[in-house]
A = this chain, B = another copy of it.
């Protein structure tokens, strides 16, 4: 099948493009540099993608896919601290995943320039997590596990440090600097947070 060769270079294009976009952003990445990295000419790219933006959109396709499902939140939240610990473990895994990290870099670079990305960040990334955590905290409050308060605000206070630590890790890893000191922050955050809300 001719599909094989075609899809093979298409995959190579996406891979190379992702690395370049993550390093230099959309404007800083030219179609020639992508093609060169793949090992083909720039004109050959157009056999696989309509234009540069199409490449970018394909690269960014699952930039907001999240491991956090709303499924079973009502039940899982009753586990209290264990629920939060599990949430943080998954958040940490994503933070240290090479591919997810590249997408995170792209997101942070384009976040302030691309309105669509910005909207998706707030909806898919922020609000999704806040909604999930809010629901969980609401359950915990009703179950008497934590002290009563505004669940959404509690969710914000819990999520914010995770994002900040992830950003720091990303920044350090760009320059290949060690992140060992930061990796324990996630678990410490759960302990600190739980101590402050638990009844």
- Residue-wise, chain A 153-196 has the 8 Å CB interface mask toward B (1 for contact) of 11011011101110010111011000000000100110011011
B161 touches A156 (CB 8 A): yes
Q: Which of B108, B122, B168 contacts A112 (CB 8 A)?
A: B108
**Interface assignment of A128: CB less than 8 Å from any CB of chain B:** no
Q: Which of B25, B157, B192 contacts A192 (CB 8 A)?
A: B157
Q: A160-B165, A161-B160, A164-B160 are in contact. Are A115 and B27 (CB under 8 A)?
A: no
Interfacial chain B residues near A121, Cβ < 8 Å: 171
**Interface assignment of A32: CB less than 8 Å from any CB of chain B:** no
A156 and B159 CA atoms in complex are apart in Å by: 13
**Interface assignment of A105: CB less than 8 Å from any CB of chain B:** yes
**Interface assignment of A52: CB less than 8 Å from any CB of chain B:** no
- Residue-wise, chain A 27-62 has the 8 Å CB interface mask toward B (1 for contact) of 110000000000000000000000000000000000
Interfacial chain B residues near A175, Cβ < 8 Å: 115, 118-119
Q: How far is the CB of A179 from chain B (nearest CB, A)?
A: 12
A115 and B176 CA atoms in complex are apart in Å by: 12
A165 and B153 CA atoms in complex are apart in Å by: 11
Q: A161-B160, A164-B163, A196-B196 are in contact. Are A171 and B27 (CB under 8 A)?
A: no
A111 and B24 CA atoms in complex are apart in Å by: 11
A118 touches B197 (CB 8 A): no
**Interface assignment of A113: CB less than 8 Å from any CB of chain B:** yes
Chain A positions 109-128 with a Cβ under 8 Å from a chain B Cβ: 109, 111-113, 115, 118-119, 121-122, 126
Interface on A for B, CB 8 Å cutoff? 23-25, 27-28, 105, 108-109, 111-113, 115, 118-119, 121-122, 126, 149-150, 153-154, 156-157, 159-161, 163-165, 168, 170-172, 174-175, 185, 188-189, 192-193, 195-197
